[in-house]
């Protein structure tokens, strides 16, 4: 099993966990810090966006319920969430396959990976794109709208929208490369 690359200091995360255990309303801090990671992990293992959102929501709801029992043992909180997600996904697989047991090694293989981190980073980078590029990316990939529809909405030519799309993806690729470097 690989270890998640830390994006925040352990101490900060521990403080967040303890605060959330004292006051569950503080759980939103942990949620914001880990949402992209959990969603990225789930999205790569379920067939569509709706199911990814469903599983992600269930992970956080279960985490909130079980937070009181969480003990800090040096393991990152994200790993605990990913563990919940793994079990939920495995249960779905079993249900879909007619209650066939999923081998432990299969569950092991769906643990944390660089790919998940990369996907989580990508979601964060999209949020930081310039307004027009972000709008094009979300319209194109989330809403699955055509270039023509987006052009009509923004009052620009189709060529301009394609160019914005290209620049946005190019920018995302360059930023991911620089982070990895």
Which residues would be at the binding site for other proteins (CB under 8 A)?
Answer: 24-25, 27-28, 31-32, 35, 39-40, 43-44, 49-50, 52-54, 56-58, 60-62, 64-65, 68, 118-119, 122-123, 126, 137-138, 140-142, 144, 147, 162-163, 165-166, 169-170, 172-173, 176
How many angstroms separate the CA atoms of 167 and 159, rounded? 12
Tokens of 115: 């790919």
Element housing 50 (H / E): helix 49-66
Nearest to 137 by CA among 156, 122, 152: 122
Decide whether 44 or 128 has the Cβ nearer to other proteins: 44
Decide whether 10 or 51 has the Cβ nearer to other proteins: 51
- Minimum CB separation of residue 68 from other proteins in Å reads 8
26 secondary structure, DSSP code: G
- Minimum CB separation of residue 75 from other proteins in Å reads 22
Decide whether 5 or 135 has the Cβ nearer to other proteins: 135
Decide whether 86 or 139 has the Cβ nearer to other proteins: 139
Nearest to 67 by CA among 20, 6, 9, 121: 20
Decide whether 7 or 119 has the Cβ nearer to other proteins: 119
Q: How many helices (H) and strands (E) does the chain have?
A: 9, 0
Element housing 49 (H / E): helix 49-66
- Minimum CB separation of residue 13 from other proteins in Å reads 17
- Minimum CB separation of residue 150 from other proteins in Å reads 11
The sign one gets for the Cα dihedral 146, 51, 29, 6 is negative
């Amino acid at each position: 099993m690989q270890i998640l690359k830390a994006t925040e200091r352990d101490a900060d995360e521990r403080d967040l966990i303890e605060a959330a255990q004292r006051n569950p309303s503080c759980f939103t801090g942990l949620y914001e810090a880990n949402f992209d990671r959990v969603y990225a992990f789930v999205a790569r293992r379920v067939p569509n966006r709706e199911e990814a959102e469903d599983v992600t929501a269930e992970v956080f709801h279960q985490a909130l319920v079980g937070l009181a029992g969480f003990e800090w043992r040096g393991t990152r909180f994200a790993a605990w969430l990913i563990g919940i997600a793994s079990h939920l996904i495995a249960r779905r697989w079993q249900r879909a396959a007619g209650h066939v047991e999923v081998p432990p090694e299969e569950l092991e293989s769906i643990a944390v990976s660089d790919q998940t981190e990369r996907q989580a980073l990508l979601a964060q980078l999209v949020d930081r794109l310039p307004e027009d590029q972000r709008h094009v990316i979300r319209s194109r990939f989330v809403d699955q709208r055509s270039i023509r529809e987006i052009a009509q909405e923004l009052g620009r030519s189709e060529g301009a929208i394609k160019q914005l799309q290209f620049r946005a993806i190019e920018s995302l690729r360059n930023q991911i490369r620089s982070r990895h470097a």
